[in-house]
Each structure stands twice: as C-alpha cells, then as structure tokens.
Amino acid sequence: MSQDVVVVGGGLAGLTAALRLVQDGLRVVVVAKGVGATHLTGGTIDVLGYTPDRVDSPRSSVSELVASRPDHPYARLGVELLERSLDWFTEAAGTLGYSGSLDENLLLPSAVGAQRPTALAPASMAGGDLRKSPRLLLAGFRALKDFYPAYLADNLTRAGLEARSTVLATSPRPGEADVNGLIHAAALDADGGFRCRLAEELAARVEPGESVGLPAVLGLEKAPEVWRELQDRVGAPIFEIPTLPPSVPGMRVHRRFAAALRKGGARSIVGAVAVGAETRNGSIDAVVVQDAARKRSYRARAFVLATGGFASGGLELELGGKVRELVLGLPVAGTLDGSAFAAGALDPHPLSRAGLAVDDELHPVDADGKVVYDNVYAAGAMLAGAEPWREKSGDGISIASGIRAAEAIGERLL
C-alpha cells in the first residue's frame, strides 16, 4: 500500500495534520492505536492559561513565554502560525461554532468551579464566560454521577459570583440510577421527548436573568441543534461545563475531523499500533503497524508522528529512568538523572517536559541537533518543553504543530 503521508496517531495533533494534508490534495492514511486523546479533553482549545500566573492574553503571554523558554514548542511554532492554526481549526470545526482569539482568554468554570482560562470554546460553552459575571444556575442530572452542581456553585460563590444549583430528575433512562454522559448525549441527539422533558424541568427552576450551566453532554452528533433548541425552550442562555472523560465535547471534535477526513478520501485505521519502521539512508520508507492479526507496512513519502506523550503512550518511562519513544525509538530530550517527580502531586514534575526535540520544520533531532529522519515530522504532546496540563497549553500546541507538520510536508511534496 502506498500513500503520500502516513499520520501515526489520531488525537488532535494527528487529526489536524491529516486534515490539513488532505486539504492540500495529498493521499493520507491515519493509523491510530485508539480513538485519541480528544476523548479526554474538555472540548475547549487551550492555548496558554498559566505561566504560572493566569494568562489574560495568550498572544502577549506566548511571546513572553518563548523568550524565557526557548525549548518550548511555541518557540518553534510562533504566534503567527498559532493564530493561523486557530483560525483553521475554527473553520474546520464548522457548526460547533468555536469562538475566541489569541487576544483574550475566556474564563470558563471547570466542574469543580475553578475559573479556567481558554482561548477558544464551542458555542455551547462560550456562554459560561465568567468574566461577564453571569448570574448562574448550575444544574446536574440526578442519574449522572460525573457532575456535582452544589459543589461547583459553592466554589463559584466563594469566588464572588452569584450561583445557585439544582439537580434535575429528568433522565434518559427513568428507573436507572447510573446513566453515563454518553447515554445522556445520545438521548438528546435522538430526542424522543428527552429534550422537551429536560427543558420543561429546567424552565420551571430558572429565574429571569440567569444563565444555566449544564454538564457537557448536550448531544453528540446533533450538539449545535440540541443546544439551540434547549435554549429556545428554556428561554435562558445555556452553557456546557466539561466533566470527567469520556468527554462528549471532545468526541464531537473527533467526529467532525474523522468525517472530514473520510470525505476528503483519507483512510483511518484504528486499532493499529505502529511498532517500527523500514528505514533507508536517513529516511523512512514505511511504518510497520501491528494490528490484531499481523504486522503490515504502510509506505509513504512522509510521516507524521503524533502518538502523544506519556498519557497517550507515545512516550514511555522505563524502570530505571530511561524514556523511550515507542514507534521509531527517537532520541528523547529533557530526560534527567535526578528525580523525575516532585513530592507534591500538583507540583511541577521535571519529567513533564521530556519529549522529542525538533527543528523548525518539526523534524525530530538528536542531542546534537541533527535531523534523525528527513521525512519524519513530530506533532502534539510528544514534543519536548511544555507542561500542557499545568500551562493549559496542550490544544494550542497540538493544533499548531499539526498544521506546521502538514505545511512542512506540503512544501516538501508539492
């Protein structure tokens, strides 16, 4: 089998790179071990949230960050590319209606009631922007164990906001105590009366002038429609708050991108673990992929490696302290002899910044800065130098590096 580009990894970075390449008319195959980390993220696009102080303007803070941290991925990517990438993402996400910019972060409530800075949010979440001090009614579903509105409201009230809470009895499966978020989302997609029942119960509790915060389960395939219809029926602004994985809003993004890839003629192979490569003279001819029954090689002219960091399994720390990149055995930067972890769970851990060092075109480089394979490009959470969760920077890095890798490949192949 031959194609122009093989993208290894189906998270935000891999999907972005693949879709951008398809838009250039290249033949692309995506091989992914699983569905990708989009299913874990909250569906917001975080560019830079903390440095460690809260970031109001990602544009100026990214510039300051890269001045002091030349090893940070943003130092390679740059603000101009970042901005272009966010515009591209907003366009690609289509009717999910992402808004926001590099100029100012939105402040959206997290499910514990932290005020979480993020650059872009889908239409169904943007209404939760706490900078506008909305009066809030936070509503959970009795059967959904992943959202605690009273706890959330307490923390927001403490932070000086006006917030009440309530728990709705309406359920997609009356009589069942434990109904997960996906079932709520599917029931809202299918409708069958659940939208209406939910809207009625909510309308009876909301007071004029309040905005209603609900767990982010308002439909999967038909999310924009569900959200709009609920707002109309309730007669109040409604916004979603992301909660525990699997993340419905993250899955919406995944589905959009997967559908666009299909439409663009790309193939996606999920359940395929890239385990090695056929190499020749500093280039890669093919990646070797293990699926359920056998190994097979996917040949291409260029390869995007976007298998993620430690959480997604792109990188692995061995007993003894050595970090490995699992597909190509690429050199890993930022590994250390000393302690990899801090004593406090929430403290910065030195290991967090470990990953692949790259050049400006995102070719992985070795310790001497020498390109390892001239047709391999790395993107996403496997890049060295960032602490995505602390900084709230993971989505920006993934999208911008996915775009950069695609552009570099375009320059090479087209």
CA distance 227 to 284: 46
Q: What are phi and psi of 391, to 5 degrees?
A: -80, -20
Q: What are phi and psi of 371, to 5 degrees?
A: -65, 135
Min dist. Cβ of residue 316 to another protein (A): 6
Nearest to 218 by CA among 198, 204, 200, 235: 198
CA-atom Rg of the chain in angstroms: 22
58 lines the binding site for another protein (CB under 8 A): no
Min dist. Cβ of residue 235 to another protein (A): 17
Q: How far is CA 64 from the centre of its chain?
A: 24
Span from 17-25, 143-151, 284-292, 403-411 in contact with another protein (CB under 8 A)? 143-151
116 lines the binding site for another protein (CB under 8 A): yes
Select the residue interacting with another protein from 40, 81, 123, 270 (CB under 8 A): 40
Residues 78-82: contacts with CB under 8 Å, at least 24 apart: 81/400, 81/403, 81/404, 82/47, 82/396, 82/400
Which residues in the 351-370 window bind another protein by CB under 8 A? Answer: none
Please say which residue, 99 or 180, places its beta carbon nearer to another protein.
Answer: 180
State the distance between the two ends of the chain, measured CA to CA, in whole angstroms. Answer: 20
Select the residue interacting with another protein from 68, 293, 338, 343 (CB under 8 A): 343
Select the residue interacting with another protein from 17, 31, 47, 153 (CB under 8 A): 153
Omega of the bond prior to 224 within 30 degrees of 0, cis? Answer: no
Please say which residue, 17 or 143, places its beta carbon nearer to another protein.
Answer: 143
Q: How far is CA 311 from the centre of its chain?
A: 13
Please work out the total of residues on this chain that contact another protein, with binding judged by CB under 8 A.
Answer: 63
The structure tokens 């002038």 sit at: 209
Which residues in the 214-273 window bind another protein by CB under 8 A? Answer: 242-245, 247
Please say which residue, 138 or 405, places its beta carbon nearer to another protein.
Answer: 138
Please say which residue, 70 or 338, places its beta carbon nearer to another protein.
Answer: 338
Span from 89-97, 340-348, 356-364, 397-405 in contact with another protein (CB under 8 A)? 340-348
Amino acid at 76: R
Min dist. Cβ of residue 26 to another protein (A): 31
Select the residue interacting with another protein from 24, 154, 285, 359 (CB under 8 A): 154
**How far are the Cα atoms of 65, 99, 248, 254 from residue 39, in angstroms, in the given order?**
28, 20, 7, 8
Structure tokens at 223: 């999310």
Please say which residue, 75 or 114, places its beta carbon nearer to another protein.
Answer: 114
Under 8 Å CB-to-CB from 48, ≥6 apart: which residues? 55, 58, 61, 62, 65, 74, 105, 119, 391, 392, 393, 396
Min dist. Cβ of residue 346 to another protein (A): 5
Q: What are phi and psi of 173, to 5 degrees?
A: -135, 80
With beta carbons less than 8 A apart as the criterion, state whether 94 and 133 touch: no
Nearest to 233 by CA among 273, 274, 199: 199
| Alpha helices in 50-132, H assignment, sequence order | 58-68, 73-93, 123-126
Under 8 Å CB-to-CB from 149, ≥6 apart: which residues? 138, 139, 140, 165, 166, 167, 213
Which residues in the 305-334 window bind another protein by CB under 8 A? Answer: 309-311, 313, 316-321
Select the residue interacting with another protein from 27, 54, 233, 299 (CB under 8 A): 54
Min dist. Cβ of residue 409 to another protein (A): 29
Please say which residue, 65 or 376, places its beta carbon nearer to another protein.
Answer: 65
Min dist. Cβ of residue 150 to another protein (A): 5
Span from 24-32, 227-235, 282-290, 344-352 in contact with another protein (CB under 8 A)? 344-352
Please say which residue, 116 or 222, places its beta carbon nearer to another protein.
Answer: 116
Min dist. Cβ of residue 384 to another protein (A): 15
Mask for 81-110, x = binds another protein (CB under 8 A): -----------------------------x
Structure tokens at 211: 């905005």
Select the residue interacting with another protein from 385, 388, 396, 410 (CB under 8 A): 388
Which residues in the 178-217 window bind another protein by CB under 8 A? Answer: 178, 205
Binding residues for another protein, per CB under 8 A? Answer: 37, 40-42, 50, 54, 110-116, 137, 143, 145-148, 150-151, 153-159, 163-166, 175-178, 205, 242-245, 247, 309-311, 313, 316-321, 340-341, 343-346, 388-390, 392, 394
